Amino acid sequence: MQHNDNKTQNKENNIDATQIKKESNAPIKHRHLLFMILLALLMLLTVAAIVSTSVVILNRTTREHRTLIIEHTAKLAATYIDGDLVDGWMENGKDAAYESTADTLESILRNIPYLQYLYVYQIKEDGCHVVFDFDSVDEETGEVVEASDFGDLIEFDESWEELVPTLLAGGSVETLETVDTYGWLLTRYEPIYDSTGKCVCYVGADLSMKGVHNYVTNYVILITVIAAVFLAGCILLGMRIYIGARRADQMESLIERQKRDKELTREIIEAFAKVVDLKDAYTQGHSFRVAKYTDMLARELNCDEETIEKYHNIALMHDIGKVGIPDSVLNKPGKLTDDEYGLIKSHTSRGYDVLENISLMPEIAIGAQAHHERPDGKGYPLGLKESEIPRVAQIIAVADCFDAMYSNRPYRSRMNFEKVVSIIKEASGSQLTPDVVDAFLRLVEKGEFRAPDDFGGGSTESIENIRNDKKES
């Protein structure tokens, strides 16, 4: 009886667990559906915004483009008219110079895109006296619009009322946009002066704007079709996303855990770096500065972000071996003996021993071991040469060398910036890897590396090696 009760109880527990699982999945499904609806609405709003913005920009750009055309056309036409001859033409009639000018102006009219009318008027109190005018073809109907005859008087239109005083005074007016019996036009009046500086007439140029609406309409149709195709593609993609969303939810916790692990790794590494810097009283903050310089150099050398982050962590740990160096040696205020200097040098091997078994970041030990190797093979602890030196160690070496010379220490101020740069440049190929030094020099030219509070000065004494400067970074 007791056995049956247990079976019944287990069955009830299983049913409850299944029900709980179903209920817990329900909000996820609703969340996915809500997400897809919001995404669809967002895409529709985005497309609508793109289309409307594009139309506004197209209209404005078209107007600006045609305004530029009409202004340059009027100026061009004005250069072919001799202002000293205009009054003579109006008084005595046409001559050979007039006919030659007329041919040139008509050629301009026929060859400038969208140019509807081109004419030259003398502006007087009683109206516009025609100097030049030419037949034109209506852009929409194709009908020929006959020109006014030479010497005809055209009364001022109502739209000229505000312009007449300026035109009579020989002044300049802005480009006009008008819609009247002559159509939708951009109009430009360019004054023509004689040799005395008197305005004798105006070149009038009218650019047709009738095609702008059709142009914009065709553009809207085209962009709408493109947007529809884009939306259809997004919907199909969204369906696939929706189908795969539940699987993505299962991955979310894993990704989040990896992210936390990554952050924890960085925090632990930074904590160890602080321990190293605290132990060495002479180089407070050194590990973090070297890591920052390593980032800058790696980015200049076109390393990807994942590599840059990895190099940053390795650089933070490059001096971890100093933890094993006695304080009496590490913080000795005077010069080091040969034995003490050898002990200091052992921090590379000690650092490697500390880090080599970290499986999460197997490469982290490389920087600690090899950042004092040299391309000429005279480094330590392994005497590696050129490409035998790991890339991250090549970069850390330059960053480490720079900070060793360009940071304030209790026993000396930082070295003069230009002196530091020259020393690093001279060390290229022997102590430091050439292409990393080149990257350093490029950054220096861009204004990087120099401290914000560095306005010149600093020690200019020659430092042959760190040992002669009492300490090694």
The model carries a pTM of 0.46
Q: What would the pLDDT profile of 15-72 be if each residue is shown by its tens digit?
A: 444 444 444 444 555 666 676 677 777 777 777 777 778 777 877 888 888 889 889 9
Q: What percent of the chain has pLDDT over 70?
A: 74
**Pair 208, 116: CB distance under 8 Å:** yes
Q: Find how far residue 427's CA is from the centre of its chain.
A: 35
Indicate if the pLDDT at residue 229 is higher than 50.
Answer: yes
Are 80-208 and 280-469 the same fold in CATH?
no
Residue 4 has a pLDDT of 46
CB atoms within 10 A of CB 362: 11
pLDDT digits (tens, 9 = 90+) for 124-182: 989 999 999 998 887 666 778 888 999 999 988 777 778 889 898 888 888 888 777 66
pLDDT digit string, tens, across residues 251-287: 676 667 666 756 766 666 666 666 666 655 555 678 8
Q: Which two tokens stand for residue 384?
A: 């590696």
Residue 431: predicted pLDDT? 92
Say how far apart CA 116 and CA 65 lie, in whole Å: 16
- pLDDT per position as a tens digit, 384-397: 998 899 999 999 99
* Cα–Cα distance for residue pair 105/338, rounded to 1 Å: 94
Express each pLDDT in 175-204 by its tens digit: 888 777 667 888 899 999 999 999 999 999
Model pLDDT for residues 279-300, shown as the tens digit of each residue: 555 556 788 889 899 999 999 9
Give the pLDDT of residue 22.
44
Q: By the 8 A CB rule, do 368 and 321 touch?
A: yes
Over the stretch 430-463, which tens digit does the pLDDT of each residue have?
999 999 999 999 999 998 888 888 777 666 665 5
Between 24 and 411, whose confidence is greater? Answer: 411
Return the bridge partners of 183, or none.
180
Select from 1.10.3210.10, 3.10.20.30, 1.10.10.10, 3.40.50.360 the CATH code of 280-469.
Answer: 1.10.3210.10
Average confidence (pLDDT) over 234-238? 71
Greater confidence (365 vs 371) lies with: 371
d(CA 424, CA 259): 38
Question: Taking the domains of the chain in order of start, what are their residue ranges?
Answer: 2-63+215-258, 80-208, 280-469
Residue 428: what pLDDT? Answer: 92
Report pLDDT for 281. Answer: 52
Superfamily of domain 80-208: PAS domain (3.30.450.20)
Say how far apart CA 356 and CA 351 lie, in whole Å: 8
CA-atom Rg of the chain in angstroms? 41
Res. 11 pLDDT band, cuts 50 70 90: very low
